[in-house]
Structure 1
Amino acid sequence: MPILSLSKSTVLLFVFSFCLMACGKKAKAESADQLVNDNSKDSTSAIVVAANRTAEYLPLLDQKKVGIVANQTSVIFHKTGHTHLVDSLLARDVDIKVVFAPEHGFRGKADAGELVSDGVDTKTSLPIISLYGKNKKPTKEQLAGLDVVVFDIQDVGTRFYTYIATLQLVMEACAEIGTPVLVLDRPNPNGHYVDGPTMEAEHTGFLGMTTIPLVYGMTIGEYAQMINSEKWLEGDKQADLTIIPLANYTHKSEYHLPIRPSPNLPNDTAITLYPSLGLLEGTNINAGRGTEFQFQRYGASFLDSTKYEFHYTPKPNFGSKHPKENGLTTYGMDLSNSTRMHTVSLAWLLDAYTNCPDKSLFFKTNSFTKHVGTATLQKQIESGMTESEIKATWQSDLENFQKIRKRYLIYD
């Protein structure tokens, strides 16, 4: 045998070289594992997002053709920062075929309401299919050949924030052809309360597809369960749904988003004020778009300037190419020092309306009803009802929703 003719030193060198190669492969594998699941050794008190819990879902993607609904918030955290879920899964040889992008796009740079085009991701060369362009619901052709669709997007728990509408339409499309849906859960920074007007069925649309309150107090995984079991999908269909839960999360947890979930929600203050100041989106009042304090201030040039000490001038910027009151001096209030909200406030909406001398300038035609999901609120404001009187009319619907919500909660 040839190997018998080798010297002892040659054999030892061969064995040593083989061990080095094996260790190198092991180190590479460990490096890849760390890239995807570095938070696995976090302290028991730290919230662990589902994307980091790779042991729970990687086996479900093995040997599968995968589609991913994702944006800039779809990341896996590690000690030195974060890595995008798509990049992390590709590093683990997950067979990703296509990425579906919601409002604001895959990289989260498009303005609110701006159509997002199909394209190709320059980093991975994966095809990007927009769910905020020609169609908001994936077509059968776009889903063809996929074995599973993964949904991983950071929500902020407010009905008119469109990511939950995208979730519902993705589930509906997958249910129609039997494609499983895997939701990687993320914390809801407004998940500690339920409040606001309930969507009226006749006003449902992409800003609210179901009859839920403005603030619904559920993670996106919990809400997916509600959509499915309440049979809110078209034709009463149900998706083949799997939720990968968070670790160490409760609805009382405070969660600080490390990445802005959309261009005009830059920080915790904007996110906590969003349910309340978002009510101004259906009016002609500027809610901070076109400044660096989006959803932390409001104002308009046509408000009574004698009532306000604060003023600012909106100008085009990241996320707002055409802000309301563009280039005009707007009079209103600075709310950038606000603390965490526990209710929806009508105070600022009512303040702006009260201090608008020409009431015909206030509401956008049909837009306010479309945005808040009810025709009742505008009538209540115009009739002079107080905040407490208006909020009293919400209570019955809120109590009914709480009973339904309780059935689908994953976390305390």
Structure 2
Amino acid sequence: YINTLQHVMEACAANGKEVMIFDRPNPNGFVIDGPILDPQFKSGIGIQPIPVSHGLTVGEYAQMLNGEGWLKNKLKCKITVIKNANYNHDMPYELPVAPSPNLNTAQSILLYPSTCLFEGIYANLGRGTKFPFTVLGAPYYKGIYEFSFTPTGIKGMAETPLFKDEVCYGIDLRNYDTSIFRKTRQINIQWVMELYKASPKKETFFDSKLSNQMLPIEKLIGVADFRKQIIEGKSEAEIRTSWEPGLSKYKEMRKKYLLYP
């Protein structure tokens, strides 16, 4: 959505049109975490040098696009943001409409900044079930994890999911206590670390060529180091240290564009 916002702002700026943004709360607006996107991994997933969880509303991000000169040819777009009333970034908020058929619950949305990384793993992340982005598994985890699910074709959600009609074993996050994110203010990378460590097929774990439903992990996390760090068994602390000082610089820069406390 924010990539589309950029394209709209660029088109309007080039044609002398104003963009009016009716702002909405960000359900994950209290988490500012992740490495800063390396430009070499720009894609439809992410364009600008921001972290995985940016902690902004769309209106705030529009101001950042203008203020940081990120629009094409350094264009500036005239914008008017209709602010949310009585909103702050710490406020719990449940979206009234699912933003995607595969982000269909409040649980999946709160997990998404963490579980989006599952799209870079050779496993099923719940596509082909009624609870995508809240489970992850593969047939090769049999005997390692007890929890299982069987993805099937579901029209309008996932008609040909990875490992269709095969029993997948793995982790179940449907009842995970998402209030933990409010305490840590961090995305969870432990799940990826755990799944790699437990995998009997480590050589294919990050191999996005195996399925058109996978993406290179670099496009999801935004940096080249993450894959190597997981494979080498780096600790979470070591991985997070590598995200600095970029993340701290972003947090400071973000303050200039906040419309809400």
Are 1:353 and 2:196 an aligned pair?
yes
Helix, strand or coil for the counterpart of 1:288? coil
CA distance in 1, matches of 2:106, 2:176: 10
1: CA distance, partners of 2:157 / 2:140: 24
* Corresponding residue for residue 399 of structure 1: 248
Q: Equivalent residue for 2:126?
A: 288
Partner residue in 2 for 1:70: none
- Aligned-partner residue type, residue 210 of structure 1: Q
**Rg (Cα) greater in structure:** 1
On the 8 A contact 1:353/1:362 being kept in 2, the answer is yes
Aligned-partner residue type, residue 180 of structure 1:
E
The Cα of 1:395 is off from its aligned counterpart by 2.9
Residue 183 of structure 1: SS of its match in structure 2?
A: strand
Q: Is the partner of 1:298 in helix, strand or coil?
A: strand
Partner of 1:386: 235
Q: Which runs of 5+ in 1 are unaligned?
A: 1-162
Aligned counterpart, 2:212: none
Q: Distance in 1 between matches of 2:79 and 2:60?
A: 11
Deviation of 1:352 (Å) = 1.3
What's 2:68 paired with? 230
SS at match of 1:210: coil
Task: Give 1:282 shift.
Answer: 1.7
Structure with bigger strand share is 1
Please state if 1:312 is matched with 2:149. yes
The alignment covers a number of residue pairs equal to 249
Q: How far 1:354 moved relative to its partner?
A: 1.1
Contact kept? 1:223, 1:408, Cα under 8 Å:
yes
Q: Please show how residues 97-108 of structure 1 align to structure 2 within 5 Å.
A: none
The reply on whether 1:253 has 2:91 as its aligned counterpart is yes
Name the % identity.
41
1:169 counterpart residue number? 7
> What is the TM-score of this pair, normalised by structure 1?
0.59
What are the superposed Cα offsets for residues 71-118 of structure 1, whole Å, 9 maximum, x if unpaired?
A: xxxxxxxxxxxxxxxxxxxxxxxxxxxxxxxxxxxxxxxxxxxxxxxx
Moved more, 214-223 or 173-182: 173-182
User: Structure 2: which 5+ runs fail to align?
Assistant: 210-214
Deviation at 1:321, TM superposition (A): 1.6
Distance in 2 separating the partners of 1:339 and 1:172: 40
- Conservation of the 8 A alpha-carbon contact between 2:123 and 2:136: yes
User: Which protein, 1 or 2, shows the higher relative CO under an 8 Å CA cutoff with sep ≥ 6?
Assistant: 2
- Are 1:377 and 2:215 counterparts? no
C-alpha separation in 2, matches of 1:322 and 1:404: 42
Alpha-carbon distance in 1 for matches of 2:131, 2:225: 30
Q: Which residue of 2 aligns with 1:271?
A: 109
Distance, in Å, in 2 between the alignment partners of 1:343 and 1:349 is 14
Report SS of the residue matched to 1:400.
helix
1: CA distance, partners of 2:105 / 2:186:
19
2:147 counterpart letter in structure 1 = F
Matched, 1:327 2:140: no
Amino acid in structure 1 at the alignment position of 2:116: G
List per-residue Cα deviations over 1:253-291 (Å, max 9, x = no partner). Answer: 000112111111111110111111110102212111111
Taking the aligned partners of 1:176 and 1:260, their CA distance within structure 2 comes to 32
Corresponding residue for 2:40? 202
Contact 1:269 1:339 in 2 (8 A): no
Is the Cα contact below 8 Å between 2:128 and 2:164 reproduced in 1?
yes
Q: Secondary structure at the match of 2:245?
A: helix
Mapping of residues 2-401 of structure 1, within 5 Å = 163-303=1-141, 305-317=142-154, 318-340=156-178, 341=181, 342-363=185-206, 364-365=208-209, 367-401=216-250
1:299 touches 1:352 (CA, 8 Å); kept in 2?
Answer: no
Give, in whole Å, the separation in 2 of the partners of 1:391 and 1:199: 14
